[in-house]
Amino acid sequence: MKTSPTNVSKLFMFLLLSSVTMHSSDIDTPSSLQTLSIDGSFSFHNISHAAKDFGNRYQFLPSAILQPNSVSDIAKTIRHVFELGPYSNLTIAARGRGHSLQGQAQALEGIIIQMESFRGQETRVHNGEIPYVEASGGALWINILNESLKHGLAPKSWTDYLHLTIGGTLSNAGVSGQAFRHGPQISNVYQLEVVTGKGEVVNCSKTENADLFFGVLGGLGQFGIITKAKIALEPAPKMVKWIRVLYSDITTFTEDQEMMISAENTFDYIEGFVIINRTGILNNWRSSFNPQDPVQASQFKSDGRILFCLEMTKNFNSDESELADQEINALLSRLRFIPSTLFKSKVSYVEFLDRVHISEMQLRSKGLWEVPHPWLNLLIPRSKIQDFAKEVFGKILTDSSTGPILMYPVHKSKWDNRTSVVLPDEEVFYLVGLLTSAPSSSGHDNLDRALKQNQRILDFCKKARIGMKQYLAHYNTQEEWKHHFGARWEEFQQRKQAYDPLAILAPGQRIFQKTGFSL
């Protein structure tokens, strides 16, 4: 029987596509990574820890973990996956301390780069006219602090928790009570070394490869992995006077907060908390502080009211204690808190900055650290904070929550609008953080309850047109991400195409999907 040219053509195409299919299958196997000549090592077994994070809700098992010893290791690995082309399903996620909330630093059947293993850059402090510290993207902020303090210096802006990597917080923003003055951590960076989604090692700053520099800052890991950073420093104090006061009226509370963050002479750190029907937590934090008037303080009762705590610090050195007290008293005289709730403490600068780690150790000892953390972090425009508070604190969160509720204002002008972070459209906006823990308890699903509360809050914000933006955002569809970025989406998408065109990096953010080649 004769074979027609048409049949020959079909047979040829079948064999061609079959070979492509086999190639696609072969290149996704971890064995391809073993051909790479690297200084570090790959692990293919006992890697389940990389499928967990602080949120403790999502588990995506990778195929391999890279423990890099050099920038070259990271670049070679990414370049290898990039050169496999769109036929490969491999993706890559950089993981620091695994403190993401919803699988953002995970990569299903992909490669996890364990950044804390990265020793490519020794931490070096440059104590010149413009001091800075140069460190690996996998270095922890607590170690940066300790090294900088040897030179009498410290970074300007912090997160509340210091046991996180530089690359991790700079990929988001890095916010704490110093942000009203210095901006977030991403506003205090001089230079970065970045490995792009093509495996290219690029140095960037505000003047060199600026598009990548600003894109990576707050870029959620989408355009490159931060392997080195130069962070701004300032003279470090030795001690901190730590103050907490309470308000029962939210309008007075927010007005005083906004006055303090806008004053020329003010505190060095300003944060606020919402206490919902929680006498327990009230007594807990009071126990480590000294009341200004012990008799009045002992008579104060919360009576189940919603209370608002203003937390502030004043930095000082050992010979400046009296002067610091005078400045504090002058500032406090301008505030309208409940007089009997003035509590003070004096601690070292390191002890204050590392305060959350102490709580972590206590929770770990009780088995309450590695539980689900369905956190919700929102940026609320100043003009809507009263509407938000009335609905959320008055109607949705009506009983005791299981975690702190942060609420404090910052200035938008302290954030560089060239970075990838998207913010509300007002000069002053509030960070509201519902830092819920959800330990399992018999007969009651704390996690399900917390998630439903979060959704009710998000639904209210949408219906009431609050104009909020999520911080540490999590969305499941690209349409939701488009809405999140708004007018910035096109720029964000263009940067992705320029620096990670195959969508290899940070798949756990669920912004771009590596689609591959469909046959």
Catalytic residues: 99, 160, 271
**Domains of the chain by start residue, with CATH:** 124-236 (3.30.465.10), 239-470 (3.40.462.10)
Question: Structure pTM?
Answer: 0.91
Angle at 55 between CA 51 and CA 61, to 5 degrees: 10
CB neighbours of residue 54 within 10 Å:
20
What are the distances in angstroms from CA 436 to CA 281, 302, 420, 449? 14, 22, 27, 11
CB neighbours of residue 1 within 10 Å:
3
Cα separation, 460 vs 514, in Å, equals 33
- Order of strands, sheet of 92-95, starting from the edge strand that comes earlier in the sequence: 41-43, 64-67, 111-114, 92-95
Q: What is the 3-state secondary structure (H, E, C) of 429-490?
A: EEEEEECCCCCCECCECHHHHHHHHHHHHHHHHHHCCCCCEEECCCCCCHHHHHHHHHHHHH
Angle at 422 between CA 416 and CA 424, to 5 degrees: 100
476 exposure class (CB count in 10 Å sphere: 0-12, 13-18, 19+): exposed
Per residue of the chain (519 residues), give pLDDT as tens: 444 444 444 433 433 333 443 344 445 556 789 889 999 999 999 999 999 999 999 999 999 999 999 999 999 999 999 999 988 999 999 999 999 999 999 999 999 999 988 866 789 999 999 999 999 999 999 999 999 999 999 999 999 999 999 999 999 999 999 999 999 999 999 999 999 999 999 999 999 999 999 999 999 999 999 999 999 999 999 999 999 999 999 999 999 999 999 999 999 999 999 998 655 555 665 666 777 767 666 666 666 689 999 999 999 998 999 999 999 999 999 999 999 999 999 999 999 999 999 888 988 888 888 899 999 999 999 999 999 999 999 999 976 667 899 999 999 999 999 999 999 999 999 999 999 998 875 445 789 989 999 999 999 999 999 999 999 999 999 999 999 999 999 999 999 999 999 999 999 999 999 865 332
Taking the CA of residue 420 as centre, how many other CA atoms within 13 Å lie in the half-sphere pointing to its CB? 31
**Spacing of C-alpha 225 from chain mean position:** 15
DSSP label of 297: H
Cα separation, 463 vs 421, in Å, equals 24
Cα separation, 296 vs 323, in Å, equals 26
Please say whether the beta carbons of 349 and 237 come within 8 A. Answer: yes
Beta bridge partners of 405: 434
What is the sign, positive or negative, of the torsion defined by CA atoms of 361, 365, 370, 372? negative
